[in-house]
Structure 1
Amino acid sequence: MLSPSLAQEIAGDTSAVIGFNVLITDADGVVIGSGDSSRVGSFHEASVEVMRTKEPATHNASQAQLLRGVRPGVTLPLVAGGQAVGTVGITGTPAQVRRFGLLVKRQTEILLRESVMLRSRLLAERAAEKLLADIASYDAQVIEADSLLFRAADLGFDLRLRRIAVAFEVTAPPADTGRRPGAPNPDSRPGAPSRGSRPGAPNRGSRPGAPNLDMGLVRSELLRTVREVFADPQDIVAATAPGRVGVLHRLPARGPVDSPEAGCRRVIDAIAAQDGLAARAGIGEPATAVGGLHDSYQDACEALRLGARRPDGLPVHPIGELRVQQLLATVSQSARNRLLASTTAQLRTQPDWPALRDTITAWCESGFNLVRAAAALHIHRNTVVYRMNKIEQLTGRPLRDHHTTMALYLACLTDHLTVTED
C-alpha cells in the first residue's frame, strides 16, 4: 500500500518543512523514505514493536543506542483500514519532536489514503477499459458470453440490463477557423460568421496552440465530463483510444427508450466550453445481451465515422439516421461507381455539382417538401426550385417521380461517401 516513491516524497517534503529528519518504514521495518537518503534501505528496529502494538514510542540517546538503525526521536504507526502498514519516525530530542509526531502521522495517513483511492480508481478504469474492449471485439466463437457477464458482475455491472452504446470523439479545431473540421462555410462574405456557431460564441479554433494538445489531459477531462453526464452507477464509461470514450448507458427496464442524444449534446457543449475542442458522438441501438451490446457499440462507432461525412455538420449521429449510408459503405467501390455513372453522369460534370448533390439530399430527407429543404440548406425556396429544374433538365427525369429521386438520392450519398473516403 505504501510505495517507496510515495514514502520518499512524503519524507523529503515533510523534513524540509519541519526542520527535523522524517523517515518512513514499510511493514517489515525497512526504511523506504527518509529526508536523509543514506538511511533508505536500512532496518529500523523500533518500528517492529510499534507495528505490533500500534502505539507510538519515544527513544532517547541511550535507548536508541540499544536498537539497530534507531536514532533519538519518536516513532508512530501508520494505520490504514485498521491495520498498521508502516511507521513514521522523526529524528531529534523526544521533547522537541513529540509535538510534530501526531501531525506528521495524520498527514502521512491522509496522503496514503488518497494514494490508495487513486490507485483503486485507476485499477477500476483499466478494468472497465478492458471490459468495453472485449465487448467491442466480442466473438461468440472465441469467448463465452458468460465469462464477460461474470467479469462485469465483479466490477458491479449487470450486462443483462437494457443498454445503448455511445461513442465520443474529441479533436482540436483547425487553428485558423472556428468551424468544425470538414463543415462547409455557409457564407462566403469576408468576415461573415459561420451559421453553425452560436451567436456571440468565441472562435475557439483561433486559440494559440489549440491543435497541440496534451492527449493525456484531454483523456482525463473527457472521461470526467462524460461521467458527470452519464452518472448512473450502471453506466460503463471507459477510454477506448486517444481522444475517444465509449459508454454503455443503462436504459429504463420498461417503457419507451430514453434516447441519450440530450446527454451527448451536454457533453459536447461542456467540452467545447471548457477546452475549446470539437466533440462528436455516435449512438447505437438498444441491446440487452453481450452480442447485442457488441453490435450496438460497433454501430455507435460506425455512426461516428459516417456522421463526420454528412454535410449538415451536426455533432450527434444516431445510427438509425445513417442506416442507408452504412449499407452503402459495405457495397464494393466498383458497384458504387456504376451507380454514380448511371444516374449522375451529367450532373457531376457541372461546376455546381456539390450544391446540386446537397439539394437532392435535402429534398429527400425533408420529405420532398420545398420549404423544409430550403430551410435545411439555408437558402431561399426559389433557389431550390431553380436547382431542381436544372437537375430535371440535365437528367431528363422528373424529380416528382420518387423512383428517380430515390436513385439519385442513393447516388448522392454514395458520391459523398466516396469523396470523403478519398
Structure 2
Amino acid sequence: MFLLDASLAQSIVDRAMQILRTNVNVMDERGLIIASGDRTRIGTRHDGALLVLAQARTIEIDEAMASRLQDARAGINLPLRAEGRVVGVVGLSGDPAAMREHAELVRMAAETMLEQAQWLQTLARDERLRDELVLQLIGVAPAAAGLEAWAHQLRIDLAQPRAAILVELADEVLDADGLLACQQRLRRVLASAVPGLLCAAVSLRELAVLWPQADVDRQPDGLRALLDKLQLRLVDVAGGPVRLALGGHFGGSEGLARAWQSARATLQAGRRHRPQDVVLCYDELTLPVLLSGLGEGWRAEELQRPLRRLAEHDREGQLRRTLATWFAHDMKAVPSAAALHVHRNTLDYRLRKVGELTGLDLSRLGDCLLLFIGLELDRSLSL
C-alpha cells in the first residue's frame, strides 16, 4: 500500500512554492501537516484537511469559515489520490477564488509526483522480490511457500533452463560503500545484457547470475567466448578486477542450487589451479572441483599418506614440484621436463625417486591417481 511520506510531501511543497507566491501545505491521511513552506506548522493537525479526507472532495475555506475552525487559514484544500484512494491533501493559503486555477495545477503536479514515486516504489519492491527469488533458487535462502505464484507475479519462467555464474569483485582496496556502488553498476550492465537474466547479491563481493540457457545456445562462438566478452565489459564498468565462475548444468528441482554450488567450487578450484585466469568453467575443472569435497575424515588422511612419506625425504619440495608439474602436463615427459627446465633423464630419475619413497608404481594408473588426488586435497586444504 502506497503511503505519502514527509520527504515526498516536502518535494511537492518546494516545487509548488518555486512558482506560487503563497504558502503550500501537504497533509497525510490523518490530517497532520507533514510538509509546509511554514515549518512551524509541521506536525500540527489541519482541520481543513480533515474535512477533505472525510468527504473526499475539494474544500474551500474563506475568512469567515477559517474563524470558526481551530488554527485554520483561508485557502483551498484538494485531495491527493494514488492507487484509487485519497492518500493525503494539498493546501494553498490565500483567497480561494484567486487560488482555484493554481490549486488544480498544483494538485495535478503533485499526483504526477505520487505516481512516479509509486512506480519507483514498485520497481524497488520487485527488485527485492527478484533478489529473494534468485537466492531461493540457488539454495542460499530457504525456499518459501508459493514460489511458483511469486515467480508468476514477477513474470519469471521457472521452467526455463539457466546457467549459474558467480561474479566476484576481486578488488581488495574498495570499502563497503565502494563495493555496494560497484555492485549497482555491474547489476545495471548485467540487467541490460539479455532479457530474462536474473541477478542477486550474495555478499558484498559476490553476485549470482542466472543466464537463460536459450540465449547461451544462440551464441555463435559458444559460452566461453560470451563469458570472456562479459568479463571485459564488467572490468571496464567496475574499474577493478572481476572474476567469473560458470557452474555445471544440472537438471531437476535442485538443478540451479547444484549449479550455483559448482560455480562456487569452480572459483575455489580455479584459485589453486589457474590463479591468473579471470574466467573459470566447471567443465574445464571438473575433477579438481569434485575432489575438493574429500578434504576431511579418515579417507582424506589415507589419500594423503603417500605424500606425507614423500615429504619426510623431500625437505625442499623438489620432488613434489616435479610430480605436480608432471601431472599438470598430463604425465607427458617432454613438456614436463621443459616446464621444469631439466633434462628428460633428470625428470625420469626424480619420478623413480618419488615411486621409491612413496612405495607406489608410477606406471600404474591407480597409483598415479592416489598421488594426484593427494596433491589436489593438499592444495585444497592449504588454500
Q: TM-score range by the shorter chain?
A: 0.7 to 0.9
Query: 1:244-323 alignment to 2 at 5 Å?
Result: 244-252=206-214, 260-323=223-286
Larger fraction in helix = 2
Contact 2:51 2:59 in 1 (8 A): no
User: Of residues 293, 302, 314 in structure 2, which corresponds to 1:335?
Assistant: 302
Shift of 1:228: 2.0
Which residue of structure 1 aligns with residue 190 of structure 2?
226
Aligned-partner SS, 1:290: coil
Would you say 1:242 and 2:242 are equivalent positions?
A: no
Which residue of structure 2 aligns with residue 164 of structure 1?
163
Taking a change above 3 Å as real, the CA distance of residues 392 and 143 of structure 1, as seen in their structure-2 partners, is: same
Which residue of structure 2 aligns with residue 10 of structure 1?
11
Which residue of structure 2 aligns with residue 201 of structure 1?
none
Contact 1:71 1:91 in 2 (8 A): yes
User: Of residues 181, 184, 193 in structure 2, which corresponds to 1:217?
Assistant: 181
Taking a change above 3 Å as real, the CA distance of residues 312 and 236 of structure 1, as seen in their structure-2 partners, is: same
Shift of 1:33: 2.2
Range with bigger deviation, 7-16 or 342-351 = 342-351
Taking a change above 3 Å as real, the CA distance of residues 74 and 282 of structure 1, as seen in their structure-2 partners, is: same
Contact 1:20 1:90 in 2 (8 A): yes
State the aligned residue count.
368
Listed one character per residue, the Cα deviations across residues 302-321 of structure 1 (whole Å, up to 9, x for unaligned) are: 22222222235212222122
Contact 1:75 1:90 in 2 (8 A): yes
Query: 1:8-407 alignment to 2 at 5 Å?
Result: 8-11=9-12, 13-14=14-15, 17-18=18-19, 20-37=22-39, 38-46=41-49, 48-49=51-52, 58-67=60-69, 70-81=72-83, 83-94=85-96, 101=103, 104-137=106-139, 147-173=146-172, 210=174, 213-229=177-193, 231-233=194-196, 235-252=197-214, 260-331=223-294, 332=296, 333-341=300-308, 349-350=316-317, 356=322, 359-364=325-330, 368=332, 382-383=338-339, 386=342, 389-396=345-352, 403=365
Distance in 1, matches of 2:23 and 2:122, equals 31
Aligned-partner SS, 1:240: strand
Contact 2:48 2:61 in 1 (8 A): no
Range with bigger deviation, 16-25 or 270-279 = 16-25
Distance in 1, matches of 2:319 and 2:94, equals 86
Distance in 1, matches of 2:63 and 2:333, equals 95
Shift of 1:357: 6.2
Shift of 1:246: 1.1
Listed one character per residue, the Cα deviations across residues 229-275 of structure 1 (whole Å, up to 9, x for unaligned) are: 2x323x33211222221122222299789965444444432332133
Listed one character per residue, the Cα deviations across residues 316-341 of structure 1 (whole Å, up to 9, x for unaligned) are: 22212222112221223423432434
Taking a change above 3 Å as real, the CA distance of residues 318 and 393 of structure 1, as seen in their structure-2 partners, is: same
Aligned-partner SS, 1:166: strand
4+ residue runs over 6 A deviation: 253-258, 343-348, 397-400
Taking a change above 3 Å as real, the CA distance of residues 95 and 353 of structure 1, as seen in their structure-2 partners, is: farther
Shift of 1:42: 0.8
Aligned residue identity for 2:342: Y
Aligned residue identity for 1:9: Q
Aligned residue identity for 1:112: L
Structure (1 or 2) with the larger CA radius of gyration: 2
Distance in 2, matches of 1:68 and 1:289, equals 68
- Which TM-score applies when normalising by structure 1? 0.70
Contact 1:222 1:271 in 2 (8 A): yes
Larger RCO, structure (CA 8 Å, separation 6 or more): 1
Aligned residue identity for 2:326: I
User: Structure 1: which 5+ runs fail to align?
Assistant: 176-209, 374-380
RMSD: 4.1
Distance in 2, matches of 1:391 and 1:408, equals 17
Taking a change above 3 Å as real, the CA distance of residues 109 and 224 of structure 1, as seen in their structure-2 partners, is: same
Contact 1:25 1:32 in 2 (8 A): yes
